[in-house]
Structure 1
């Protein structure tokens, strides 16, 4: 740990990143590197990269876990709690305020139009996220023919689960990881992984909010965007807290606000039970990140050299990427207006062909929707 870094300094610097961290994990990693390695020299480049690699092996929002880990290295548990809290809270406050506006009983027409426009671009954003995760996942799978075949199988299984089966996605993610661990274990050696308890879904109310958020926080392998298929079935179909259109709006809000994409779960919680539901969802979703980093901090770097962990993430991560891509089908099917499909096509062109930014695509789509509503 680094001597002389006060909790007030951590609160200020991590809070600043939480306020300006638009653009998802790449932006968060860049800001943390600039702060901890380049400007303040609290951490070495190799130490920082080890942290990036290790947190990518954990379930949950990797950039949030990296922020918690960097703060933990400076001031231990107290630093982790303060740094993580200050990183998360600015975006959470903003997204809950926007949720109150967009989910109001009778919002202005331009608000509804902006929501419909931004929501129309969400399937393109999901496809862009899946495409961006493919290279790293493919490298992890290895160069052999058998790993490549299994990797494709996990990818397809995740895509089908997200597009068709809905509630079974969590089991598919876990199964893909477990199969890869079992198949990849050395002959004569039994591979093991912590047992995952498949608890039954709660019947409704705050317990159901906590259940949905727990799945998001504990099973988000492959990046924050895998929360889309994880949450959509519960929020829209199982519990009926939101319409398909409102869920698209929630995902869009999670993209245009600073901080982790997992903030989207707070909008779902708000739709279910107001401000209490939103705060509860956020606490439950982010709690595993604090627990994992604080409890495993001294041994976290060893995780990236652990064959079992690497194998599990190869399977579960590939299935998660497939799930993100597969979720674009039901998301696109929830669009109804002709102009929304035009916005979706433009967003695909903007993100995949021109390779421009996600925030710009969503803001432009929202502006188009607001204009359509006013006209």
Structure 2
């Protein structure tokens, strides 16, 4: 996602000069403020700048459809050949590699979003530990983290009317209860569940598309039990292999659950909130882009999202790294990520090759 954001700045602002720098920066700010994967929101906003509603719509479709078709095609192959030893061997290595990539992404996000802010680090640790312990994502905790950051860093004016003995910190215990959230044919009911679940997912993704991973794991694997741990890791790996936003993994998951219609509904569910969260506030956004309360709220939510990614890396790592070969693959992938600038799709392909070589069940 960060790479796509940088590419748009270089190509659209510097090279083609289709977008003014100020418009690009405002779009980036909106993408950070509203729920939704960062790169997709920025692309849709820039389309809005160029062509209003039609521009945003065309860009949104162009941004999503190619990756969706590739992921759907891989889903077809996965269902058709997923039981073959060679494919199991490839994903044996890929799963370990994906964990290293997620862990590295979480580390990079902490440097970008948290800096040296002690409050944001506290929210990061809170969300990371909670996600790792509960092995699920508590959505109300995201909101709680945003509210805590808002109250402490940019308290609204009405707080001045509270009693002198009341401080922003003293309000935190009143907010804590908000965190106690909910710990071949396909039926119409299942398809409705797919659409509703992925719509919720699209409405609660802040920043990097990887922030959706812990939320998807909690729903797809634990709540609905549509996929097992291995299938879920394979779905994340497929998104890493294909160009485009990481969040397009929902198309793969949707296909495994409900065929092509399930894939379409999952993609629509995730990206429709993203689209609406951009085009609806866009006309008025310039007026409020630097609003201190909005900025503080988003900082808190972003810190929580980063912590959730770190917690998800721990949870998924327990499933993907379970013997010496997978541990070596994960460690080697992490070292390569740190030392060299190798594109992630190439790394995923290399981990798949390593899986073919090291998989115990492949002779």
Contact 1:121–1:344, Cα closer than 8 Å, also in 2: yes
TM-score by length of 2: 0.85
Equivalent residue for 2:284, pick from 290, 299, 310: 299
Q: Distance in 2 between matches of 1:127 and 1:62?
A: 19
TM-score by length of 1: 0.83
Give the secondary structure class of the aligned counterpart of 1:240: coil
Q: Describe the superposition over 1:29-77 as per-residue Cα deviations: whole angstroms up to 9, x where unpaired.
A: 2332344223332222232223223212221111111111111111110
Closer, same or farther: CA 362–317 of 1 in aligned 2, 3 Å = same
Which stretches in structure 2 are left out of the alignment for 5+ residues? 161-177
Q: Distance in 2 between matches of 1:149 and 1:39?
A: 39
Contact 2:136–2:214, Cα closer than 8 Å, also in 1: no
Give the secondary structure class of the aligned counterpart of 2:227: coil
Q: Describe the superposition over 1:251-290 as per-residue Cα deviations: whole angstroms up to 9, x where unpaired.
A: 1111111111110112221222121111101001000111
Q: Describe the superposition over 1:216-250 as per-residue Cα deviations: whole angstroms up to 9, x where unpaired.
A: 21111231111111111211122111111111111
May I ask how many residue pairs the two structures share in their alignment? Answer: 338
Give the secondary structure class of the aligned counterpart of 1:56: helix
Closer, same or farther: CA 204–315 of 1 in aligned 2, 3 Å = farther
1:1-375 pair list within 5 angstroms:
25-104=1-80, 107-139=83-115, 148-186=117-155, 188-190=157-159, 205-335=190-320, 336-354=322-340, 356-373=342-359, 374-375=362-363
Q: Distance in 1 between matches of 2:135 and 2:196?
A: 16
Q: Distance in 2 between matches of 1:215 and 1:161?
A: 20
Moved over 6 A (4+): 198-201
Q: Distance in 1 between matches of 2:82 and 2:135?
A: 31
Q: Distance in 2 between matches of 1:106 and 1:42?
A: 44
Closer, same or farther: CA 347–302 of 1 in aligned 2, 3 Å = farther
Q: Distance in 2 between matches of 1:109 and 1:47?
A: 51
